[in-house]
Structure 1
Amino acid sequence: MWQLLGQGTSEDERRVEKIISKWPDWTGLDMSYCPVSGGISNTNWRVHVAGTPRDFFVKIPGRGTDRFIERNAAHEASVKAHACGYGVPVVGFMKDEGVEIFEFVDGWRTSTNLDFLDKEIRHNAVGALRAFNDSGPLELTKTVFDMIDEHVAQVAELNSWKPRDLTWMLEQRDEARAALEASGLDLVPCMNDTLAGNFMIGPGKEIVILDLEYASNNERAYELALWFGEMFFEDSVEREMIEAYYGRWTGALDARVRVLRALADLKWATWAMVQESLSTLDFDFRKYGLWKYNRARLVLHHPDWPNWLKLL
Structure 2
Amino acid sequence: MANYIHVPDGAPAVPKFNVTVDEHDFRSGALKLMKELRPHWKPSEVKMKPFTDGITNKLIACYMGSVMQEVVLVRIYGHKTELFVDRQNEVKSFRVLQAHRCAPRLYCTFNNGLCYEFLPGTALEPDHIRSPSVFRLIAGQLAKYHGIHAHNGWVPRSNLWLKMGQYFSLVPTHFEDAAKNLRFSLEVPSGECLREEMLWLQQNLSVLGSPVVLCHNDLLCKNIIFNQSAGNVKFIDYEYAGYNYQAYDIGNHFNEFAGVNEVDYSQYPGRDFQLMWLRAYLEAYKEHRDHSSEVTATEVEVLYVQVNRFALASHFFWGLWALIQAQYSTIDFDFLGYAVLRFNQYFKMKPEVTALSFP
Residue number in structure 2 paired with 1:3: none
Offset from partner CA, 1:212-243 (integer Å, 9 cap, x none): 11111101111110011111212111111121
How has the CA–CA distance of structure 1 residues 201 and 221 changed in structure 2, closer, same or farther, with 3 Å as cutoff? same
The answer to whether the 8 Å contact 1:84/1:131 transfers is no
Q: How far off is 1:245 after superposition?
A: 1.7
Please give the residue correspondences for 1:181-200 in structure 2 after superposition, counting only pairs within 5 Å: 181-200=206-225
The answer to whether the 8 Å contact 1:186/1:219 transfers is yes
The answer to whether the 8 Å contact 1:265/1:293 transfers is yes
Please give the residue correspondences for 1:1-312 in structure 2 after superposition, counting only pairs within 5 Å: 12-22=23-33, 24-26=36-38, 29=41, 30=43, 31-48=46-63, 54-88=70-104, 90-94=105-109, 96-106=110-120, 108-137=121-150, 143-156=159-172, 161=184, 163-165=188-190, 167-204=192-229, 205-231=231-257, 232-246=268-282, 247-250=295-298, 251-302=301-352, 305=354, 307-308=355-356, 311=358
1:196 and 1:283 map into 2 onto residues whose CA distance is 17
Query: Could you tell me the TM-score, scaled by structure 2's length?
Result: 0.74
How has the CA–CA distance of structure 1 residues 117 and 28 changed in structure 2, closer, same or farther, with 3 Å as cutoff? closer
Other structure's SS at 1:281 match: coil
Q: How far off is 1:203 after superposition?
A: 1.8
| Letter paired with 1:97 | N
Q: How far off is 1:249 after superposition?
A: 4.5
How has the CA–CA distance of structure 1 residues 288 and 157 changed in structure 2, closer, same or farther, with 3 Å as cutoff? closer
Residue number in structure 1 paired with 2:14: none
Q: How far off is 1:80 after superposition?
A: 2.8
2:271 and 2:358 map into 1 onto residues whose CA distance is 18
Q: How far off is 1:259 after superposition?
A: 1.2
Other structure's SS at 1:182 match: coil
Q: How far off is 1:41 after superposition?
A: 0.3
The answer to whether the 8 Å contact 1:239/1:249 transfers is no
1:225 and 1:119 map into 2 onto residues whose CA distance is 18
Q: Greater CA deviation, 277-286 or 159-168?
A: 159-168
How has the CA–CA distance of structure 1 residues 71 and 49 changed in structure 2, closer, same or farther, with 3 Å as cutoff? farther
Offset from partner CA, 1:99-155 (integer Å, 9 cap, x none): 22122233x111111111210100100111111111234899653322321211001
Q: How far off is 1:55 after superposition?
A: 1.4
1:70 and 1:16 map into 2 onto residues whose CA distance is 26
Residue number in structure 1 paired with 2:13: none
Q: How far off is 1:16 after superposition?
A: 5.0
Q: How far off is 1:98 after superposition?
A: 4.6
Q: Greater CA deviation, 135-144 or 15-24?
A: 135-144
| Letter paired with 2:130 | L
Would you say how many aligned residue pairs link Structure 1 and Structure 2? 296
Residue number in structure 2 paired with 1:4: none
Q: How far off is 1:248 after superposition?
A: 4.1
Gaps of 5+ in 2: 1-20, 176-180, 258-267, 283-294
Q: Greater CA deviation, 72-81 or 208-217?
A: 72-81
The answer to whether the 8 Å contact 1:148/1:267 transfers is yes
| Letter paired with 1:234 | G
Percent identity between the two aligned chains:
17
The answer to whether the 8 Å contact 2:107/2:115 transfers is yes
Query: Could you tell me the TM-score, scaled by structure 1's length?
Result: 0.84
2:198 and 2:117 map into 1 onto residues whose CA distance is 40
The answer to whether the 8 Å contact 2:23/2:76 transfers is no
How has the CA–CA distance of structure 1 residues 286 and 40 changed in structure 2, closer, same or farther, with 3 Å as cutoff? same
Aligned-residue CA RMSD in angstroms? 2.9
